[in-house]
């Protein structure tokens, strides 16, 4: 049964011939000594638990800081990746536009060359048709000339 401070203060001993009863005092001191020893052991155990819990808390705090730092690093890396992807997409789009403009320009140049060639061929056709008509007229005149009576 644990002793309380009030019990210790109020403890009385019966009187014996030369003071208090020695066996009662020894027994009481033995109980107090045991109680103090138990309290000291309990205190030591509690202090050890406090140290263990303090170490655990410090480890948790370190892990929390590490996780926060890791999360911030991951967020920054994600932002950098998104930014780089956006820039790369913009470059790809710009290159595609330039390529499309070059293709259109080349197609327009080829179209113009084809149109020029068509016009040239059309002109040659008209010349040939004109020459054929002229030749036909000449042949027709020669035929008439040679078929008329003399």
The per-residue pLDDT for 150 is 62
Q: DSSP secondary structure string, 63-111?
A: HHHHHHHHHHHHHHHHHHHHHHHHHHHHHHHHHHHHHHHHHHHHHHHHH
Q: What is the pLDDT of residues 76-106, one digit of tens each?
A: 999 999 999 999 999 999 999 999 999 999 9
Output the pTM of the full model.
Answer: 0.47
Alpha carbon of 113 to those of 32, 102, 106, 107, 119: distances in Å?
Answer: 118, 16, 10, 10, 10
Angle at 113 between CA 108 and CA 114, to 5 degrees: 95
- State mean pLDDT over 110-120: 97
Percent of the chain with pLDDT over 70: 97
Average pLDDT over residues 8-33: 79
Q: Alpha-carbon distance 8 to 33, whole Å? A: 12
């Amino acid at each position: 049964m644990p002793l309380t401070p009030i019990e210790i203060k109020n403890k009385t001993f019966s009187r014996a011939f030369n003071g208090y009863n020695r066996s009662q005092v020894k027994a009481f001191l033995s109980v107090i000594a045991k109680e103090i020893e138990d309290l000291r052991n309990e205190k030591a155990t509690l202090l050890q638990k406090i140290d263990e819990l303090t170490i655990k808390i410090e480890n948790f705090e370190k892990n929390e800081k590490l996780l926060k730092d890791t999360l911030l690093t991951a967020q920054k890396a994600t932002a950098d990746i998104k930014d780089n992807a956006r820039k790369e997409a913009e470059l790809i789009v710009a290159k595609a536009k330039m390529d499309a403009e070059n293709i259109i320009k080349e197609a327009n140049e080829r179209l113009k060359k084809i149109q020029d060639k068509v016009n040239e061929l059309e002109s040659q056709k008209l010349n040939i048709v004109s020459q054929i008509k002229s030749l036909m007229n000449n042949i027709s005149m020669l035929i008439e000339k040679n078929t008329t009576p003399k």
